[in-house]
Chains A and B, each alone.
Chain A
Amino acid sequence: MATMTYLQAISDGLRTEMRADERVFVMGEDIGVFGGAFKVTDGFIAEFGPKRVMDTPLAESGIVGTAVGAAVVGMRPVCEMQFADFVSCGFDQLVNVAGKMYYRQGLPVNITVRLPSGGGFSGGPFHSQNPEAWFMHAPGLKVVAPSTAEDAKGLLIAGIRDRNPVVYMEHKHLYRRVKGEVPDGAYETPLTARVAQEGTDLSIFAYGAMVHTALEAVSELDGASVEVIDLRVLKPLDEEAILASVRKTSKALVIDEANQTCAAGAEVAALIAEKAFEDLDGPVTRIATPDCPIPFSPPLEQAVLPSVERVKEAARELLEY
Chain B
Amino acid sequence: MATKTSAAPATASEFLTTEDRIALLRYMLLMRGIEERAMNLYRQGKVPGSFYDGFGQEAVSVGAAFAAGPADRLCVLHRDLGAHIVRGVTPARIFSQYMGREAGVTGGRDGNVHFGDFRVGCVGMVSMLPDMMLVATGMAMAFKLREEQRVAITWFGDGSTSRGDFHEAMNWAGVQQLPVIFVLENNQYAYSTPSALQFAGDLHERATAYGFEGIEVDGNDAEAMFEATRAARERALAGGGPTLIEAVTMRMHGHAAHDDMKYVPKEQVEEWRKKDPIDRQVARVAELGTDVHALRAEVQELIDAATEEALAGPMPDPATATDRVYYEAGEDLLLGDGDAPWSGFAGGGA
Contact = CB atoms under 8 A, between A and B. Distances in A.
A66 B172 contact: yes
Contact of A103 (B141, B172, B324): B324
Contact of B138 (A68, A108, A140): A68
Given A66-B137, A69-B138, A107-B335, A102 B131 contact: no
A62 B142 contact: no
A56 B171 CA distance: 11
B168 A59 contact: yes
A73 B142 contact: yes
Contacts of B132: 97
B124 A68 contact: no
Interface string B119-158: 0000110111001111111111111010000001000000
Interface stretch (B216-224, B259-267, B326-334): B326-334
A266 interface: no
A102 B116 CA distance: 11
Nearest to A98: B135
Contacts of B127: 96
Interface size class of A (residues with CB under 8 A): 35 or more
A61 B164 contact: yes
Interface in A33-84: 51-52, 56-57, 59, 61-62, 64-75
B169 interface: yes
B138 A102 contact: no
A173 B115 CA distance: 43
B135 A69 contact: yes
Contacts of B335: 72-73, 107
B135 A107 contact: no
A69 B145 contact: no
A65 B168 contact: yes
B138 A105 contact: no
A171 interface: no
B118 A107 contact: yes
B325 A92 contact: no
A163 B73 CA distance: 20
A106 interface: yes
A101 interface: yes
Contacts of B128: 92, 96-97
Interface size class of B (residues with CB under 8 A): 35 or more
B284 interface: no
Contacts of B126: 96-97, 100
A117 interface: no
Interface in A137-181: 139-140, 142, 163-164
A103 B109 contact: yes
A141 to B, nearest CB: 9
Q: Which of A51, A93, A139 has the most CB of B within 10 A?
A: A93
B213 interface: no
Contacts of B135: 65-66, 68-69, 72, 97
Interface string A249-261: 0000000000000
Contacts of A93: 131, 134, 165
B12 interface: no
B134 A108 contact: no
B172 A69 contact: no
B114 A104 contact: yes
9 contacts: A61-B164, A69-B152, A73-B142, A73-B334, A104-B106, A105-B106, A106-B333, A107-B123, A142-B326
Interface of A: 25, 51-52, 56-57, 59, 61-62, 64-75, 92-93, 96-97, 100-108, 139-140, 142, 163-164
Shortest Cβ-Cβ A-B pairs, 6 listed: A69-B138, A65-B134, A66-B138, A62-B168, A108-B327, A69-B139
